[in-house]
């Protein structure tokens, strides 16, 4: 039964769908997939076109609107919006250390999670479209970051369901392996470090001081996670957002207090570091992250902890060597490392499962270059010139490979431009598909 709620300026309706775990076995096991319908207050009965939103990730639930805010300010002018909790997230059947333990050992868990990639998400969306809209009615699609990856998969598998597509920071390399992705990512992350240290020169010493302390004495976070120097470096993940550099600076400002035995890392710092580093709320992000680049026709060796392997090619990210040489300690970015499944309590039970996923070599292809080259669906994409998370060269190559795709290349926004622009990014893309820009 659908449940409706009223919030400032919007009306929301809950939908729960019972869908196949494996779409190749439609009569087999079923999972729940949850979606929240959002419409402008007063327009509940209007026959509006639908806009499906696929969020970033993998492993992130859809945003919980508090009213007509963010990009919904613009979207609700034209659309009835569906916020999808992609399988395994939010109110959809969850996939966490707690629920996966019920499925059996690591191999059973890994086999289960193999059905949680973009191809399955797209097939979920197509079934939902038919249930909500009917067989013949198409909907529009907005994909942010990983949601944009899913949009390319949608255009490859089921373009007949799409009226138009808007992509923000999510044009993946169609033929890029996980190694390719990280080989281009480390220099971009190094550039974000350099920009941060240029903005806040005092943070060079602040980061070195914390790193030196943790290299000798790893700290415990409030949830029991171990804050090693490598885990501390992972705070660089936030440098790819519009305000991430400032947030990092403020975090470093409150790192130390005077304890009974002298200076020690403050509870404030440790609690904020935990909030940014813990995968308790999105374990699938860690477990499945590298698999989003797995395509057997691109790399028959699988992903095999590509971020960890490729990191060795960039010695500037070796914190201990930097401490020894007097160089700035570089923070890392959107990388998942095997040691995270040792230090984070939310991931520890999934360590063997993650290893099996890293060893998997038969990931089905996610994109069809042939179908994309013949695309007939209007597509507009925001490509953030300084994007830390998605390689600009890959994005532009993909833009050229998708017939009719209109790219908007901008350095006005970072990767989170959709969320923080108050609808401006989405408005630009809508205007592009309509010939207004």
pLDDT digits (tens, 9 = 90+) for 277-329: 999 999 999 999 999 999 999 999 999 999 999 999 999 999 999 999 999 99
Q: How far apart are CA 161 and CA 157, in angstroms?
A: 10
Average pLDDT over residues 348-357: 98
pLDDT at 256: 97
CB-CB contact of 283 with 90 (8 Å):
no
> pTM to 2 decimals?
0.96
**Which one is the CATH code of 4-174+367-433: 3.40.50.300, 3.90.1170.40, 3.40.50.1820, 3.30.70.120?**
3.40.50.1820
* Sequence-distant (≥ 6) Cβ neighbours of residue 143 within 8 angstroms: 53, 54, 149, 150, 151, 165, 166, 167, 168, 170
| 415 counts as catalytic | yes
Q: What single-letter DSSP state applies at residue 28?
A: S
pLDDT digits (tens, 9 = 90+) for 115-131: 999 999 999 999 999 99
Return the structure tokens found at 162. Answer: 């799409």
**Options 415, 416, 421, 427, the catalytic residue:** 415
Average pLDDT over residues 49-56: 97
Q: Scanning the structure block, which residue is given the tokens 């976070």?
A: 221
Q: pLDDT > 90: what percent of the chain?
A: 98
Q: In this structure, how many other beta carbons lie within 10 angstroms of the beta carbon of residue 342?
A: 13
256 versus 3: the higher-pLDDT residue is: 256
pLDDT digits (tens, 9 = 90+) for 355-390: 999 999 999 999 999 999 999 999 999 999 999 999
Average pLDDT over residues 100-123: 97
When pLDDT is cut at 50, 70 and 90, the band that residue 417 belongs to is: very high
Helix axis angle for 178-199 and 392-401, nearest 10°, is: 130
Return the structure tokens found at 279. Answer: 């995968």
> Of 288, 282, 292, nearest to 356 (Cα)?
288
Q: How far apart are CA 7 and CA 9, in angstroms?
A: 6
Q: What single-letter DSSP state applies at residue 234?
A: G
When pLDDT is cut at 50, 70 and 90, the band that residue 3 belongs to is: confident
Q: What's the distance, CA 218 to chain centroid? A: 28
Give the residues across from 185 on adjacent strands. Answer: none
pLDDT at 158: 98
Q: How far apart are CA 185 and CA 91, in angstroms?
A: 32
Long-range contacts of 297-302 (CB under 8 A, 24+ apart): 297/365, 298/175, 298/176, 298/177, 298/365, 299/177, 299/178, 299/179, 300/361, 301/361, 302/358, 302/359, 302/360, 302/361, 302/363
Average pLDDT over residues 214-243: 97
Average pLDDT over residues 246-262: 97
When pLDDT is cut at 50, 70 and 90, the band that residue 2 belongs to is: low
When pLDDT is cut at 50, 70 and 90, the band that residue 213 belongs to is: very high
Q: How far apart are CA 118 and CA 387, in angstroms?
A: 21
Q: How far apart are CA 37 and CA 14, in angstroms?
A: 6
Average pLDDT over residues 179-185: 97
**Options 92, 115, 145, 278, the catalytic residue:** 145
Residue 1: is its pLDDT beyond 60? no
Average pLDDT over residues 32-57: 97
| Residue range(s) in the chain whose domain bears CATH number 3.40.50.1820 | 4-174+367-433
* Sequence-distant (≥ 6) Cβ neighbours of residue 62 within 8 angstroms: 35, 36, 53, 55, 83, 84, 85, 86, 89, 90
Residue 190: is its pLDDT beyond 90? yes
pLDDT at 371: 98
Q: How far apart are CA 81 and CA 71, in angstroms?
A: 11
Q: pLDDT > 70: what percent of the chain?
A: 100
pLDDT at 437: 82
Q: What angle do CA 145, 386, 425 make, to 5 degrees?
A: 55
pLDDT at 193: 98
């Amino acid at each position: 039964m659908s449940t409706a709620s009223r919030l400032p300026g919007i009306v929301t309706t809950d939908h729960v769908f019972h869908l196949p775990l494996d779409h190749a076995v439609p009569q087999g096991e079923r999972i729940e997939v949850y979606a929240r319908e959002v419409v402008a207050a007063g327009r509940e009965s209007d026959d509006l076109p639908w806009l499906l939103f696929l969020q970033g990730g993998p492993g992130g639930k859809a945003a919980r609107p508090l009213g007509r805010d963010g990009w919904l300010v613009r979207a609700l002018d034209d659309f009835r919006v569906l916020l999808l909790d992609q399988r395994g997230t939010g109110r959809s059947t969850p996939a966490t250390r707690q629920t996966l333990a019920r499925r059996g050992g690591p191999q059973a868990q890994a086999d289960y999670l193999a059905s949680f990639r973009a191809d399955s998400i797209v097939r979920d969306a197509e079934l939902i479209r038919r249930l909500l809209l009917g067989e013949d009615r198409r909907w529009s699609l907005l994909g942010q970051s990983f949601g944009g990856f899913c949009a390319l998969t949608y255009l490859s598998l089921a373009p007949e369901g799409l009226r138009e597509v808007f992509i923000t920071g999510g044009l993946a390399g169609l033929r890029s392996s996980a190694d390719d992705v990280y080989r281009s990512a480390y220099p971009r992350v190094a550039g974000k470090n350099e920009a941060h240290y240029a903005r806040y020169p005092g943070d060079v010493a602040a980061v070195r001081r914390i790193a030196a302390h943790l290299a000798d004495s790893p700290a415990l976070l409030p949830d029991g996670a171990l804050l090693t120097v490598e885990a501390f470096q992972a705070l660089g993940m936030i440098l790819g957002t519009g305000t991430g550099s400032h947030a990092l600076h403020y975090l470093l400002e409150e790192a130390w207090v005077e304890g009974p035995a002298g200076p020690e890392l403050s509870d404030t710092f440790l609690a904020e570091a935990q909030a940014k580093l813990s995968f308790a709320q999105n374990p699938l992000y860690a477990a499945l992250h590298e698999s989003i680049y797995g395509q057997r026709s691109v790399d028959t060796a699988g992903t095999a902890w590509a971020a960890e392997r490729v990191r060795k090619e960039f010695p500037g990210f070796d914190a201990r060597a930097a401490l020894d040489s007097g160089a700035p300690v570089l923070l890392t970015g959107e990388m998942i490392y095997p040691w995270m499944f040792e230090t984070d309590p939310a991931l520890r039970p999934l360590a063997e499962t993650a290893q099996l996923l890293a060893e998997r070599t038969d990931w089905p292809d996610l994109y069809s270059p042939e179908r994309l080259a013949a695309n007939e669906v209007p597509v507009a994409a925001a490509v953030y010139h300084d994007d830390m998370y998605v390689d600009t060269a890959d994005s532009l190559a993909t833009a050229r490979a998708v017939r009719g795709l209109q790219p908007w290349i901008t350095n006005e926004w970072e990767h989170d431009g959709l969320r923080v622009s108050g609808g401006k990014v989405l408005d630009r893309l809508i205007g592009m598909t309509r010939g207004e820009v």
